[in-house]
Structures are given as structure tokens and as C-alpha cells.
Amino acid sequence: MPYPAGGAAEVGVFVSLVIPDVLEASCATRQALERLASKWRVLLIYALLAGPQRHAELRRRVAGISQKVLTETLRDMERDGLVQRRVLKETPPQHVEYALTALGRTLQEPLAAICAWAAQHDGGASIDPL
């Protein structure tokens, strides 16, 4: 449905909003939401926005995440192209660090918008359950 671009002040100027059908399994938006909607992924992206970090650093920064879940989540994020794993030292004990890829860094602005929304709305505490 078209909406006025500038509200009532610009009568006659319309823009079409593209609203994807996120209920369809083939929808690209739905697929992105399924990949990103994990709380651990969002928290790890937020932590990695500060720059490359090692596994132990991430585990300390992201309170409540287990070593197993951290490892699995980082592997999945690497597979999805959001995180790059870099080996710093090949010989045992191996030293590895994780960093956001260019694709992962594109999530900074949407994540900042979610953080701003949460700050304005008391973390969503005022949302009525369905």
C-alpha cells in the first residue's frame, strides 16, 4: 500500500513500501531472522563490534554462555559468513581469535536501533504478552 513520503505536508508524493511475506519459508527476511534471532548470536555480534577477540575473552564478556554453546554459535556464525576465525598460533596450545566479517559489521546499525528502542521502552518490559 502506498504511503505519503513526507506525511500530510507532501500531498501527492507516494512511496511504495515493500513488505516481505516473512511467514513463507522461502522469504529472505525470514531466513535472515532465523539466523540472527538467537540471543547468543546477537550478544556475540555486539561483543565483536569492539574488535577481534579470543574464545576466552568472549566467554568472559558474554555472561551465561557455556563453552559448548559459544563454540557452536561461533562455528555457525563463521559458516554464515558473519565471523572470521583466525589462527594466531598453530602449535598447541592453539591461539585463535574471532572477528566480524564485513557482512557481520553491517549489523551494527540495526543492532544500535534495537538497543535504542530497548532504552526508550524500558527494555521491552512494557510490552503486553499476546
**In this structure, what C-alpha cell is assigned to residue 96?**
585463535
**pLDDT given at position 77:** 96
What are the 10-residue block averages of pLDDT along the chain, 130 residues in total?
46 58 82 84 96 96 96 96 92 90 95 89 67
pLDDT for residue 38: 85
pLDDT at 126: 64
Residue with cell 554462555: 65
In the prediction, which pLDDT does 30 show?
A: 82
**What pLDDT is attached to residue 8?**
45
